[in-house]
Amino acid sequence: YSLAQIGLHWLIALMVPVQYLTGGSIGRIHHAVHMGMTPSPSDVVQHQLHNYAGMAIGLLMGVRLVLRVLHPPETG
């Protein structure tokens, strides 16, 4: 694998725990809004981080797939 492919792999691997750790904020925000309350600022930040990290992971996975197709690993 190329250095770019390896780097993308580990970058994505580091972003997955961020998704896990910030995912709970989504339920808390939706619950607060449903109850007519204002969500906490930290939950709003975590929700935004969760959303943007998810979009970044999707984009990076697409780049990684293109690199894999253009530069397949050597077999041997």
Domain presence at residue 33: yes
Domain presence at residue 66: yes
pLDDT tens-digit profile, the chain (76 residues) = 889 999 999 999 999 999 999 999 999 999 999 999 999 999 999 999 999 999 999 999 999 999 999 988 887 6
pTM of the entire structure?
0.84
CB atoms within 10 A of CB 8: 19
Name every residue whose Cβ is closer than 8 Å to that of residue 68 and which is 6 or more positions away in sequence. 5
Domain presence at residue 76: no
For the chain, what is the domain count? 1
Write out the H or E segment, with its range, that includes residue 43: helix 41-70
Domain presence at residue 75: no
Domain range enclosing 17: 3-70
